[in-house]
Amino acid sequence: MSLAMNWRAAALGLLLVAGGALAADGAPAKAASGHASTRAPGHAAIASANFHATEAGLEVLAMGGNAFDAAVAVAATLSIVEPESSGIGGGFMAVLHRASDGHNVFIDARETAPAAVDAQDYLNPDGSPNRDTALKGPLSAGIPGEPAGLVLIAKRYGRLPLKQSLAPAIRIAREGFEPDERLREAIAGMQKDLQRWPASTAKYLPGGKPPAAGVIWKDPDQARTLELIASHGDQGFYHGETAQKLVAAVRAAGGNWTLADLASYRAKERTPITVDYRGYRIVTAPPPSSGGVAIAEILNILSGYDLTKMDAATRTHYVIEAMRRAFRDHNDYLGDPDFVKMPLDMLLSPFYADGLRQSILPDRATPSSMLPRAEAVEPGMHTTHFSIIDADGNMAAVTSTVNYTMGSSFVAEGTGVLLNDEMDDFALVPNKPNVYGLLGSKANAPVGGKRMLSSMSPSIVIGADRTAVIGSPGGSTIITQVLEGILHFIDGESARQIAAHKRFHHQYLPDVVNVEAGVFDAAASDALTKMGYTLKSREPWGFMNVVTWDRKTNQLDAASDPRRPSGLGKVQ
Ligand code: DON
């Protein structure tokens, strides 16, 4: 315990020193050099969580679309075939790279809290957190961002009209598809919740039961909603018929959305976070994601060590300690940049990382501080990530979510739209963990119109000879999966190796290291345990979809996480 206190005092002292140094010379985070694409690959690669979606993206490329049109097609198709993970009732975050001028942009299509949000709704009468309103039904749903985000991408970055890029999704919804095992299992797992709302029952439990293997399943209501978006853009969802149906359904079931909440929703373009590490530039997600800040902070800390010269246990020790410090800051500082002032210059500064590095002991774990212990539950891998490189070298890294499995379980009658349960990503009750065991502060308190903090970390890693587009679902583990994927890519691994690589995860609290079977050999496990780490084995997690481009050989690779057989990475 005394070590924890000493460390905390030391870290606080260093934090003040770093802050002072920055205030004195006003130096921003270090300017990164990066590399521009030198030539186009001439062919394309897509990796996503579902073969229908990968094929839809390739179909749109074949129509003359670019990576951004393909991203619209993949996301909309996932809304039909992988509704347990993402959809037009949810939101996404994306990092795009435009080859023609090297422009990198972050698309923030994150949900917002409705104006009438009331923190009391998420408390039981005795003041304890009400996990049901936070995770189920209309009160758990934020105003969807995905439709606006797709319209923005198509208009500003795509080549094709939405009618073309949404066509494959609409066709699949109209003609039908076979729900795969993951979807059937997700519906069976959420059956009790889905049964609470008639439109959810009608859509997901035809005949009162989850769909059986081999049935063909159609989604005409969602097809119609997508057609309205295809014809009218934002107007097709946030105004008129769809908006009226959404608000009527939400309010009839005890929610508080208004037409004004929908009409005022905007997807936003933001400047991505960039960080340089071992000759690579990583372009990743800024707030309202915590992912990019954490990844940058971790890489800045690690850049003070030569990990390649260390044995597995020592290398892992430094990576875990960097994770611990980044997650501590995540809990304390981060939220929606339109609502909270965050010390990003400090968090992203190499001087701040220097200070944190000084607080890491070479031979043992630093116990996490004395914040209340947060118990994470297993995140179902129900969020989705896809990665695209097109023939011109345009790239899209997109992570999309309805939050927990099947989102709120609430379908808005007549729209086919399954609403998210993203409100739980706010710190609804201060210092009480959300479903991923994450604690939050005032920075992430719910306020009308505010975006809830996310861990989604779509990223593009650009090196002189090699580039990767990478991301994964997994709640708080997204950040550590993407970080480990970036390190493995920089170590020279292929797309397939990166997606398959065994994982570990640490998030400050709980003060344990989650380990996938086989990630450490007996000697490394023993050494880490002796350093003071509590290793806790956990079922395999993640659903990474990654594409890579080797510019020297002009080879593209696409790989989907072997842990989840429904995915497909394909080069065309
Ligand atoms: O935005 C976030 O961080 C969460 N809503 C992501 C949820 C997730 O990854 C669930 N799947 N495992």
Position 54 pLDDT exceeds 50 = yes
* H helix and E strand count, the chain: 21, 18
In 3D space, the residue among 459, 191, 475 whose CA is nearest the CA of residue 330 turns out to be: 475
| CATH code assigned at 278 | 1.10.246.130
Please report, as a single letter, which amino acid is at residue 516: E
Residue closest via CA to ligand 1's atom 1 equals 454
Q: Do 162 and 288 lie in a common domain?
A: no
Q: Please give the distance of CA 150 from its chain centroid, rounded to a whole number.
A: 16
Choose between 27 and 135: higher pLDDT. Answer: 135
Q: Strand, coil or helix: what is 397? A: strand
- Count the neighbouring beta carbons within 10 Å of the beta carbon of residue 551: 17
Q: Do 345 and 415 lie in a common domain?
A: no
Which pLDDT score, from 0 to 100, does residue 27 have?
Answer: 26
Q: Do 146 and 284 lie in a common domain?
A: no
Which pLDDT score, from 0 to 100, does residue 238 have?
Answer: 98
Q: Do 293 and 367 lie in a common domain?
A: yes
- pLDDT average, residue stretch 469-477: 96
- pLDDT average, residue stretch 529-551: 97
Q: Do 498 and 525 lie in a common domain?
A: yes
Question: What is the C-alpha to C-alpha distance for residues 311 and 525, in angstroms, rounded to an integer?
Answer: 12
Residue closest via CA to ligand 1's atom 6 equals 475
- The model's pTM is 0.91
Ligand 1 centroid from CA 546, angstroms:
18
Question: What is the C-alpha to C-alpha distance for residues 34 and 461, in angstroms, rounded to an integer?
Answer: 9
**25 within some domain:** no
Q: Which domain holds residue 491?
A: 271-379+457-560
Q: Do 356 and 207 lie in a common domain?
A: no
Ligand 1 centroid from CA 191, angstroms:
21
What percentage of the chain reaches a pLDDT higher than 90? 84
Q: Do 216 and 339 lie in a common domain?
A: no
Question: What is the C-alpha to C-alpha distance for residues 125 and 130, in angstroms, rounded to an integer?
Answer: 9
Which pLDDT score, from 0 to 100, does residue 14 have?
Answer: 31
Burial class (CB in 10 A: 0-12, 13-18, 19+), 115: middle
Q: 437 falls in which pLDDT band (50, 70, 90)? A: low
Domain count for the chain, please give it.
Answer: 2
**99 within some domain:** yes
Neighbour-count burial for 47-83, b at 16+ CB within 10 Å, e otherwise: bbbbbbbbbbbbbbbeeebbbbbbbbbbbbbbbbbbb
Report pLDDT digits (tens) over 502-514: 999 999 888 999 9
Contact of 89 with 199, CB cutoff 8 Å: no
- pLDDT average, residue stretch 20-37: 32
Ligand 1 centroid from CA 217, angstroms:
26
Q: Which residues pair with 570 in a beta bridge?
A: 46
Which of 402, 436, 538 gets mutated to test ligand 1 (max ligand atoms within 8 A of its CB)? 436
Please report, as a single letter, which amino acid is at residue 456: M
Which pLDDT score, from 0 to 100, does residue 510 have?
Answer: 86
Contact of 462 with 283, CB cutoff 8 Å: yes
Q: Do 262 and 280 lie in a common domain?
A: no
Q: Do 60 and 187 lie in a common domain?
A: yes
Q: Do 305 and 367 lie in a common domain?
A: yes
- pLDDT average, residue stretch 561-568: 96
**189 within some domain:** yes
**540 within some domain:** yes
**3 within some domain:** no
Q: Strand, coil or helix: what is 227? A: helix
Position 408 pLDDT exceeds 50 = yes
**170 within some domain:** yes
Which pLDDT score, from 0 to 100, does residue 39 have?
Answer: 72
Report pLDDT digits (tens) over 115-133: 999 999 999 999 889 999 9
Q: Do 260 and 335 lie in a common domain?
A: no
Position 32 pLDDT exceeds 60 = no
Q: Do 326 and 253 lie in a common domain?
A: no
**569 within some domain:** no
Match 């208004």 to its residue by tokens.
258
Which pLDDT score, from 0 to 100, does residue 369 have?
Answer: 62
Which of 85, 478, 563 gets mutated to test ligand 1 (max ligand atoms within 8 A of its CB)? 478
* Cα separations in angstroms, 170 against 62, 106, 173: 17, 27, 5
Residues acting as catalytic residues: 383
Average pLDDT over the chain, rounded to an integer: 90
* Cα separations in angstroms, 536 against 379, 437, 511, 512, 514: 15, 15, 10, 7, 5
**24 within some domain:** no
Q: Which residues pair with 177 in a beta bridge?
A: 217
Which pLDDT score, from 0 to 100, does residue 381 have?
Answer: 60
Q: Which of 20-34, 330-344, 375-389, 486-500 is predicted least confidently?
A: 20-34
Position 372 pLDDT exceeds 70 = no
Question: What is the C-alpha to C-alpha distance for residues 242 and 277, in angstroms, rounded to an integer?
Answer: 46
Which backbone phi and psi does 301 adopt, to 5 degrees?
-65, -45
Which pLDDT score, from 0 to 100, does residue 20 have?
Answer: 26
